[in-house]
A and B are shown apart, each in its own frame.
Chain A
Amino acid sequence: MKYILLLLTLFSVNAYSYSNFIGHGYTSCLNCHFNPFGGGPLNDYGRVVSATAISSTALTPKSWDEEKVAYMSGFLFRKPKQEWLRTQVNYRGFRVVRNPGSSENEEAKWINMQLDGRVILKFGENDKFISVLNYGYAPLPSETPKGTKSSEWRSREHYVGYRFTPKFGLYAGLMDKVFGIKVIEHIAFSRVSPQVTQNDQVHGLTAHYIGQDWELGAQGFVGNLSQDADLRMKGGSVMLEKTVFGIHRIGASVMSSQNEYLKLLSYSAHTRLNLKEGSSILAELGQTNKKTENGSDDTTARFGLLQTYLRPWRGLYFLANIEYFNRDIKQDDYTLRWGPGVQYFLSQRIELRADVYDTRSFATKSSTRDSWMYLLQTHLWF
C-alpha cells in the first residue's frame, strides 16, 4: 500500500486546461500551466489563481484573507519549502446517464475518468528548466478494438522543457498535440475529428513563442512510442493565436499526420472572446481530410464548436454548448449536439459540474430522435 501511495504522490496530471479563463484576462495558458499550450499540472501561480480568483469562498473560513487562501493553495495546504519539486494528484469521475427516463434504453454508470499523479522538477531563473511526469489511470472505452494491447494505467505526459528566454521555449517528450481550442469535453467533435482527445498525446518536439500580442506553437511528432510502429501517427502541427482588441484571441491551426493506414490533414480557425468578469465565448470551425489505406473512409469532415461561459459570481459558471459535425462534406447529413451545463468550483481543489447533451442527426430525408445524456462530474485535485 505504501508503494501505491508513493506512486500517487510522485506521479500525476489533469489532462485539460480551461480555455474559457480568457474571461479572467488570461490569454495565454503559460500563465498558469507548465505546458504552454495548457493541460497538465498547474504552476504555483496557476494554483494561486485557482484559489483566489476561480474558486468560490463557500468553504473558506471567514478569518482567512486572500493571502492566506493563496498560501494554502499548495500541495500540502501550504507553500512548498523548496523551489525545485512540485507534486500534484488529480481525480476526475462522473456519473453518465444515457437516454434518461427511457424504460428500455436508459443506461447509467459511474466512470472513474482520470486518476493521475504528477511530479514536476524545475530549476533556474523563472523555472526555465522543467521536467514533467504525469502518470495515472484512464479507463479503456467500451469500443476498444479487439486484440488491442492496452493498459488502463498510462503516462499522460512526460517531457522536459527549457525556456531560452521568457518568450521562447522548447519542449521534448510525450505531450498533447498542439491544435485548436482545448476543451474539457473529450467527446467534442472538434477534438475527436482531428484526433486530439485526452488519449492522443504524442512524442515529439514542441516550440513555443509568445510575443507582445501573439503566440505561436510548432510541433513535430513521431506518434506515441508505446504503440506498435504501424499505428504511430507521425507529423506536425502549427498553431498561431493573436490578441485582438487587447483582450480577445483569434487563432488558426493546421496539422498533418499519418500512420501506415491513415493520413489526416486537419485545419481550423478559432476565437476566444473575453466577456469580462470571468465570462467568455469559445468558438472553433474546422475540417479534417482523411485518406485511408483501404479506401474505406476517404472523406473530409467538418466540425464546429460554440461554447459560452457566463459567470454570475465567483466560483460559478453557466455553460451553453453547441456542436456541429458533418462526417463527409460531400453529403448533406450532419449531427448537432447541444446542451446547457453548470460548473461550480466549490473551493480550491473541488470542482463540481453538470452537463446535459442532446444529440440529433439530420439526413436529407430524415432525422433521428433526440438522444439525451447527462453527466454529473466531480473533479478533485491536490
Chain B
Amino acid sequence: MKYFFFFVLILSSCQDYNSNSGDKGRYGPVELNESDPNFSKAYFILQDRCVSCHDHKHDRWAEFKSNADWVADGLVITGQPATSELIVRIVNNGQVSSNMPPSGGSLPDAEYNALVKWVTEIP
C-alpha cells in the first residue's frame, strides 16, 4: 500500500509539460525598465526567437529589460549594429557558419530590421 501512496504522491507533485508551459513568460504581462519604443519591440522579438535557449541554458537574456543590460553584456554596441555581436550573429547576415538561430531558418525581414533599428537608434 505504501508504494501506491508513493506513486500517487509523484503524480500529484508535478505538472505536465505541453505547448503552453511557457505562456506566462512569453505572453504574460512584462514590465520593462526602458521607455525606448524600439526596445520594447526588440524585447519581444528576442523573447520569441532567442530566449528559449539563451536563458536557462546559456545566458540570462530574459532578465535583460533595458538597453543598458544589453550594452553592459557586450552584445550590443550603441549605434553600431554592424559590429554588435547580437546582430552580426543573426543568420540573416549570412556571414558566419555558426549563426543563430541554429535551426528553423532566418528571422523575418521585419523582425531583423527592427533589431537593427533598435541598436542603431539606442539613445
Contacts and interface: CB of A to CB of B under 8 A. Distances in A.
Contact of B104 (A141, A232, A366, A371): A371
A227 B106 contact: no
Q: Is the interface of A mostly helix, strand, loop or mixed?
A: loop
Interface in A184-221: 192, 195, 197, 199-201
Interface string A343-382: 0000000000000000111011111100101000000000
Nearest to A263: B27
A364 B29 CA distance: 32
Interface in B1-42: 3, 7, 10-11, 14-30
B20 A231 contact: yes
A331 B28 contact: no
Contact of A366 (B27, B55, B106): B106
A195 B20 contact: yes
B95 interface: no
Contact of B19 (A150, A199, A361): A199
Interface string B62-100: 100000000000000000000000000001101001100
Given A143-B52, A294-B29, A294-B30, A261 B18 contact: no
Contact of A333 (B16, B17, B108): B108
Contacts, number: 151
Contacts of A359: 103-105
A149 B92 CA distance: 35
Contacts of A259: 20, 23
Contact of A360 (B7, B15, B105): B105
A35 to B, nearest CB: 18
B98 A105 contact: yes
Nearest to A257: B20
Interface stretch (A17-25, A74-82, A151-159): A151-159
A90 interface: no
- Interface centre among B7, B19, B94, by most chain A C-beta atoms within 10 angstroms, is B19
A195 B20 CA distance: 8
A364 B26 CA distance: 27
Contacts of B44: 294, 296-297
Interface residues of B, number: 44
B48 interface: yes
A359 B102 CA distance: 12
- Interface centre among A232, A259, A296, A365, by most chain B C-beta atoms within 10 angstroms, is A296
A62 interface: no
A366 to B, nearest CB: 6
A224 interface: yes
Contacts of A140: 17
Contact of B94 (A99, A262, A366, A371): A366
Interface of B: 3, 7, 10-11, 14-30, 44, 47-48, 52-53, 55-57, 62, 91-92, 94, 97-98, 102-110
